[in-house]
C-alpha cells in the first residue's frame, strides 16, 4: 500500500510518503518559513555585471537575487522595454534601477542569494502554465509516441494564445476535461498577478507557490497513492474536495481522518525513520552499511560490507551489498533531501557487468524520485558521480544545529593543546600586579591533564608573583574550551 501521512499543528506541517510501509520522502514546513521556490516578486535591478552576464535584483530579501542573462533572452519583455531581446548582452537589456518581475528558481543558501528567472511558470496537477512562452513541452516520463502525439494535438487547440504549457506526467491518459478546467484556473492566477504588477512596490510578493499540503496533493497524489491519512479535520475536508475535483468517477485514493491520541508520525514509524536518517551511518539488511557525509562542495557516500561476510564467494557478496546499497542510497537521498554533486564510493568491483548491474539498480530507484537526478558514470577510480537538483532544505535543517564546540568539523581541540593555550594566558596574567587569585574552569579531561603534568609548574609560576590557583571541572554548558576568572 502507498500512503501519504500528513501531520499539521499551529507551528508546522509535515507530510511523509510511504511505499509498502517504508518511508520514501519527508516534507516539512514551519509556520512563517517554507521554501521561496516558485514565488514571483516585483524586483529592481541593483547591479549589472557584464563580465558575468548577470544582474543582481533587489526582491526584498536579505540578499539580492541572481539573474543570468540566459533567463532574460528569447521572450518579449513585457515589463521592461517591449523589445525582443534574443542575443543581446545584459547591459543592453537591463540598467540599474529598472523594475523587473522575477520568479525564484532556487532558494538562498549560505552566502548566496536566490537564483531568479523571468521565464515564469504557474504549476498545476496536470500541467505547468508558461504565461510568457508559447512552447508546448511534454514530460520525458511519458514514453508512448501515440500518447505524446495525442497530448500535443489536444493542447495545441486549448492553450491560450501567446502562452505555453509543460505537460506533466500526471496528464498521461487524462481527458481534455481535466486540462481545460486546470488551464482556466491557472490563467486566472496569472491574470491576478498581472493586475498586482502595476500596483506593486519593489520587493513585493506577487505570487506564492502553495503550501506543503497543496504541493503534496498537486505533485504526489495520483493513482499510485492508495491512502491519505491526516490528523487535522480542516485539512481532511480540503483534501476530499481537491481529490473529488480532479478525479473521474469514484476516487481511488481513500482519505482518512486520524483521531488517535498517539502522534501520527510515531504511529506510522515515521519519527523513528527520521532519527535514523539524521545519523551519518545507515545500516543495510545484508549487514553492510552506507556512510553519508555532506560537505560545502558535495555529498560523499561510502559503501561498506560491514558484518556481511556472505555465504558465497567474495565477488558475489560485494555485488549483493552494492546492489542493496544502491537502492538504499536512492531512498536516503529522497528522505534527507540531499542535492548538488554526489559522489558514491561503492565497494570495488572488477567485472564491468557487475558495475552495470549496480548502476541499473541505482537508476531504477532514482527514476522514482520526483526531483531531477543525473548519473554521470563510474570514474577511473571506481566512483559514481551523480547530481540531484536542489529543491527546498535538507532534512537536517529542521532537526540539527551546528555544534558550538567543533563548529561542524566533528573534532574538538585536544586536552594538551587546550593546556598550552591556558599556559600562554597565565604568562600574561603573571604580569598583572592587582590579581590575587586565578580560577580556571574547564572540562574534566583538561583538569586531569593539568593535575597530571602541569600543576606544579603552574602553581610555582603564579606563586612567584603572589597569586593562588584554583581549577574547577565543568562539562556542561561550557561553550569555550576554558574560562579564566580573575579575583583581586
Q: Rounded to two decimals, what is the model's pTM?
A: 0.71
Q: Quick one: average pLDDT of 121-138? A: 89
The answer, yes or no, to whether residue 183 has pLDDT greater than 80, is yes
Q: Are 134 and 162 in contact (CB under 8 A)?
A: yes
Q: What span, in angstroms and rounded, lies between the C-alpha atoms of 422 and 483?
A: 9
* pLDDT one-digit tens code per residue, 429-458: 888 888 889 999 998 999 999 888 888 888
Lowest mean pLDDT among 41-50, 287-296, 311-320: 311-320
Give the per-residue pLDDT at 70: 78
* pLDDT one-digit tens code per residue, 72-119: 754 334 444 444 545 677 887 888 998 999 999 888 887 789 999 988
Q: Quick one: average pLDDT of 400-421? A: 85
175 versus 88: the higher-pLDDT residue is 175
The 3-class secondary structure across the chain, one letter per residue, is: CEEEEEEECCCEEEEEEEECCEEEEEEEEECCCCCCCCCEEEEEEEEEEHHHCEEEEECCCCCCEEEEHHHCCCCECCCCCCCECCCCCHHHHCCCCCEEEEEEEECCECCECCEEECCCCEECCCEEEECCCCCEEECCCCCCHHHHHHHHHHHHHHCCCCCEEEECHHHCCCCHHHHHHHHHHHHHHHHHHHHHHHHCCCCEEEECCCCHHHHHHHHCCCCCCCEEEECCHHHHHHHHHHHHHCCCCCCCCEEEECCCCCCHHHHCCHHHHHHHHCCCEEECCCCCEEEEEECCCCEEEEEECCCCCCCCCHHHHHHHHHHHHHHHHHHHHHHHCCCEEEEEECCCCCCHHHHHHHHHHHHHHHCCCCCCEEEEEECCCCEEEEEECCCCCCHHHHCCCCCCCCCCCCCCCCHHHHHHHHHHHHHHHCCCCCCCEEEEEECHHHHHHHHHHHHHHHHHHHHCCCCEEEEEECCCCCCCCEEEEEEC
Could you tell me the three cell numbers for 326?
A: 544502491
Q: Are 25 and 335 in contact (CB under 8 A)?
A: yes
For β-strands 127-130 and 437-442, DSSP reports them as: unpaired
* pLDDT one-digit tens code per residue, 241-270: 777 766 665 667 889 999 999 999 999 999
pLDDT band, residue 146 (cuts 50/70/90): very high
Backbone φ, ψ for residue 444 (5° rounding): -60, -35
Give the per-residue pLDDT at 153: 92
Arithmetic mean of pLDDT over the chain: 87
* pLDDT one-digit tens code per residue, 335-390: 999 999 999 999 999 889 999 999 999 999 999 998 999 998 888 888 999 999 98
Amino acid at each position: 500500500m502507498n500512503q501519504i501521512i500528513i501531520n499539521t499543528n499551529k507551528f508546522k506541517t509535515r507530510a511523509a510518503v510511504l511505499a509498502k510501509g517504508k518511508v520514501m520522502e519527508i516534507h516539512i514546513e514551519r509556520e512563517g518559513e517554507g521554501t521561496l521556490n516558485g514565488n514571483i516578486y516585483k524586483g529592481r535591478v541593483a547591479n549589472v555585471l557584464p563580465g558575468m552576464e548577470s544582474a543582481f535584483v533587489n526582491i526584498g530579501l536579505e540578499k539580492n537575487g541572481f539573474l543570468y542573462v540566459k533567463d532574460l533572452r528569447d521572450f518579449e519583455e513585457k515589463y521592461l522595454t517591449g523589445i525582443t531581446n534574443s542575443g543581446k548582452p545584459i547591459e543592453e537589456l537591463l540598467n540599474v534601477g529598472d523594475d523587473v518581475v522575477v520568479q525564484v528558481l532556487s532558494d538562498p543558501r549560505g552566502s548566496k542569494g536566490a537564483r531568479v528567472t523571468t521565464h515564469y511558470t504557474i504549476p498545476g496537477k496536470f500541467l505547468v502554465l508558461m504565461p510568457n512562452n508559447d512552447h508546448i513541452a511534454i514530460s520525458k516520463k511519458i514514453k508512448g509516441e501515440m500518447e505524446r502525439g495525442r497530448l500535443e494535438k489536444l493542447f495545441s487547440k486549448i492553450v491560450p494564445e501567446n502562452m505555453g504549457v509543460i505537460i506533466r506526467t500526471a496528464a498521461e491518459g487524462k481527458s481534455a476535461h481535466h486540462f481545460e478546467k486546470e488551464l482556466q484556473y491557472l490563467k486566472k492566477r496569472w491574470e491576478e498577478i498581472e493586475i498586482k504588477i502595476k500596483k506593486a512596490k519593489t520587493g513585493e510578493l506577487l505570487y506564492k507557490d502553495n503550501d506543503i499540503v497543496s504541493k503534496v496533493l498537486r505533485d504526489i497524489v495520483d493513482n499510485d497513492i492508495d491512502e491519505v491519512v491526516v490528523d487535522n479535520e480542516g485539512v481532511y475536508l480540503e483534501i476530499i474536495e481537491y481529490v473529488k475535483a480532479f478525479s473521474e468517477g469514484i476516487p481511488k485514493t481513500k482519505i482518512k481522518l486520524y483521531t488517535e491520541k498517539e502522534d501520527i508520525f510515531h504511529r506510522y514509524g515515521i519519527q523513528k525513520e527520521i532519527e535514523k536518517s539524521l545519523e551519518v551511518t545507515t545500516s543495510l539488511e545484508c549487514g553492510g552499511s552506507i556512510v553519508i557525509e555532506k560537505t560545502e562542495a558535495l555529498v560523499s557516500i561510502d559503501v561498506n560490507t560491514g558484518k556481511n561476510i556472505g555465504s558465497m564467494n567474495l565477488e558475489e557478496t560485494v555485488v549483493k551489498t552494492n546492489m542493496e546499497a544502491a537502492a538504499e542510497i536512492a531512498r536516503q537521498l529522497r528522505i534527507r533531501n540531499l542535492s548538488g554533486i554526489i559522489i558514491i564510493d561503492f565497494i570495488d568491483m572488477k567485472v564491468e557487468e557487475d558495475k552495470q548491474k549496480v548502476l541499473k539498480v541505482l537508476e531504477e530507484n532514482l527514476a522514482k524520485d520526483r526531483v531531477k537526478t543525473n548519473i554521470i558514470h563510474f570514474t577511473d577510480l571506481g566512483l559514481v558521480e551523480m547530481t540531484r537538483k536542489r529543491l527546498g532544505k535538507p532534512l537536517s535543517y529542521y532537526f540539527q544545529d551546528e555544534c558550538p564546540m567543533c563548529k561542524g568539523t566533528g573534532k574538538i581541540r585536544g586536552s594538551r593543546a587546550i593546556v598550552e593555550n591556558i599556559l600562554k594566558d597565565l604568562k600574561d596574567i603573571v604580569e598583572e600586579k592587582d590579581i590575587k587569585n586565578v580560577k580556571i574552569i574547564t572540562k574534566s579531561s583538561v583538569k586531569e591533564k593539568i593535575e597530571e603534568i602541569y600543576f606544579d609548574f603552574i602553581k610555582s609560576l603564579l606563586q612567584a608573583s603572589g597569586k593562588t590557583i584554583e581549577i574547577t571541572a565543568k562539562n556542561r554548558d561550557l561553550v569555550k574550551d576554558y574560562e579564566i576568572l580573575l579575583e583581586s
